[in-house]
Amino acid sequence: MHTKRVIPCLDIKDGRVVKGVQFVNLKDAGEPAQAAQAYDREGADEVVFLDITASADNRSTQLQWVRQVASRLFIPFTVGGGIRTVEDFRLILREGADKIAVNSAAITNPGLISQAADKFGSQCVVVAIDAKKRADGSGWNIYKNGGRVDMGIDAVQWAVQAEKLGAGELLLTSMDCDGTKEGYDLELTKAVTDAVGIPVIASGGAGKPEHFYEALERGGAEAVLAASLFHYKELTIRQVKEYLRQRGISVRL
């Protein structure tokens, strides 16, 4: 049985951890390196660090933030935001990241996925997908620049293409559910996990332990990601893992 992962996400803006609802109304939630270290001690399987305004601001991820966080961690560490080139991958991996998440640049230049996978291995390449249900309910479109720009591309089709290009993992965020604490978008998660053979991290909407279980069991995700729940201590990673184990999910305690 695959061991499932529980992953806290640090959304970074101006050097601080922030969290909002449906990608807006951001509130401060602390200092990145301290938060990452606390999650490591709590039993997180990985930490994801997303510089959420880098692409919209047309700049690279701040390397000093990556360095500070990496110095405090003994678990895998994924970094995303503002990554446009294979050289950006190299610089961030050199600062201590284990995996790189790309979203906007991969949409604009899909060849980046293949180039990075060829150079560093597929296991390093995470394609982040921000998806929102179309108004007619027929499926989901992907968005870039931190959820600001609708690309008019179907999310499931893009997931399949990303896998073919060499992505080793998908970080799938439901923009509709993000920050609502009403549960992950199980329909979206299942549609993507059914279509690809690589691990999918479900993101957006966790509010209680049952939601994590549903995303893993009914959604087919390999990992579950949350932010505000953990940042504001409404649930601990340990509590989520103990609940999952009680429900028969294999987790690392």
CATH code at position 108: 3.20.20.70
Quick check: 115 pLDDT over 50? yes
Residue 139 to residue 133: CA distance in whole angstroms:
6
253 domain residue, yes or no: no
Query: Is residue 44 included in any domain, yes or no?
Result: yes
pLDDT digits (tens, 9 = 90+) for 230-239: 988 899 999 9
- Report if residue 234 sits inside a domain: yes
- For the chain, the average pLDDT equals 91
The more confidently predicted of residues 22 and 26 is 26
Judge whether 120 lies within some domain: yes
Model pLDDT, residue 55: 61
pLDDT the model gives residue 62: 77
Q: What is the average per-residue pLDDT within 204-226?
A: 97
pLDDT for the residue 18: 73
Please check whether residue 98 lies inside any domain of the structure.
Answer: yes
Long-range contacts of 189-192 (CB under 8 A, 24+ apart): 189/215, 189/219, 189/220, 189/221, 190/218, 190/219, 190/220, 191/139, 191/140, 191/155, 191/156, 192/129, 192/155, 192/156, 192/159
Q: Which residue has the higher pLDDT, 147 or 207?
A: 207
- Quote the domain boundaries for residue 228: 5-246
- When pLDDT is averaged across residues 132-158 and rounded to a whole number, the result is 94
Terminal Cα-to-Cα distance of the chain (whole angstroms): 15
Catalytic residues: 11, 130
Q: Quote the number of domains for the chain.
A: 1
Full-model pTM: 0.92
Does 252 fall in a domain?
Answer: no
In which band, very low, low, confident or very high, does the pLDDT at 23 lie, cut at 50, 70 and 90? very low
251, part of any domain: no
What lies within 8 Å, CB to CB, of 118 at 6+ separation is 166
Residue 246 burial (C-beta neighbours within 10 Å; 0-12, 13-18, 19+): exposed
17 lies in some domain: yes
Q: How far apart are CA 61 and CA 157, in angstroms?
A: 28
Q: What is the pLDDT of residues 118-144, one digit of tens each?
A: 999 999 999 999 999 999 999 999 999
d(CA 131, CA 200): 14
Is the pLDDT at 19 greater than 70? The verdict is no
> So what's the pLDDT on residue 56?
65
Q: CA 16, 21, 27 angle in degrees (round to 5)? A: 30
Task: Classify burial at 181, counting beta carbons within 10 Å of its beta carbon; exposed 0-12, middle 13-18, buried 19 or more.
Answer: middle
Q: Please give the full DSSP string across 3-58, using - where no structure is assigned.
A: PBEEEEEEEEETTEEEEEETTEEEEE---HHHHHHHHHHHT-S-EEEEETTTTTTT
